[in-house]
Amino acid sequence: MSEREIVCEDLKAALDDLRGQGFRVDLIYPADEPHTAVLSKGDDESVRLTTRPGASAPSDRLPPFVGEFVLTRPGSSAGQGRAGMLYRDLIPSRLGGRYIASHISIPEGGPVADWVHYHRIALQMIYVRRGWVRVVYEDGGAPFVMHEGDLVIQPPEIRHQVLESSPGLEVIEISAPAVHATYADHQLELPNGSNSGRIFGGQRFLRHVAADTPWTPANGGEVQETAVEIATSGLADVRTVRPLRGEALSFGGKHGELIFGFVLDGSAMLDYRGLREVGPADAFVIPPGHSWQLTHPSPDFRLLHVTTATLG
């Protein structure tokens, strides 16, 4: 199938036009601010639609990790992402292109203009901060609803689809590598049954339900643990952290790569090479091997804490 290129100024408008002509989206990238899509019609017509004709296609190889301290605050405008979602970039440097962390929102709610798709990634996690979202996964049984504090691990190339959401949905998504494509699967219809033991690229699909998870002592406070470390074969660990009687939360110098925090609620003082106040929707990255603390937490303080090993 030959492929022709169309350069446009407005990708969404051009996509809508081609869909109206009977084309379907085969892939689009990047998710947070798409600039290129490939569409096809029948077996003999393919179009590469782009606003950046010189941009290179995503690579399946992981870029080298570049560790650094990062602190981002809410307030910057969110970019228009795939399927009408708004994306706020939480790690602008992308740590050398190794990771992307996004604060994604759907202000209006309702049905989501998504399709069955997958990603060629090394790691991907979705955590619900506000509202609810209904999703469906390959071999994951019937569609289900994720609520605040719930998360999923999306292993490499698992097919999935976002179906609908509440107004004001907010999720945190972390993926590696930072730039990756969204590939459509036009053949598979979801749901397609259940196979909880299936392995995708060395990982298992994981659905973590916060309401079913007890709080246990750790880090000088309390945490809701997850089974992320098991599901990812040791590549990542995710927990929700809260203080106990206003005591400081202490974190040792963990080795590996990503050490990421997102303030879900409340405020505290981040103690890492100086004191900085952090509040709702602030995000930070600590370089590997360094100890840090969160002191003077407010009673309602909650933190999403994500760490990774060295990715292969």
| pLDDT score of 54 | 85
Average pLDDT over residues 101-126: 96
Average pLDDT rounded to a whole number, residues 110-124: 96
Q: Which domains does the chain have, with CATH numbers?
A: 3-50 (3.10.180.10), 76-210 (2.60.120.10), 213-308 (2.60.120.10)
In the chain, % of residues over pLDDT 90? 89
224-236 average pLDDT score: 98
pLDDT band at residue 312 under the 50/70/90 scheme? confident
Mean pLDDT over 277-303 rounds to 98
Structure tokens at 292: 């840090």
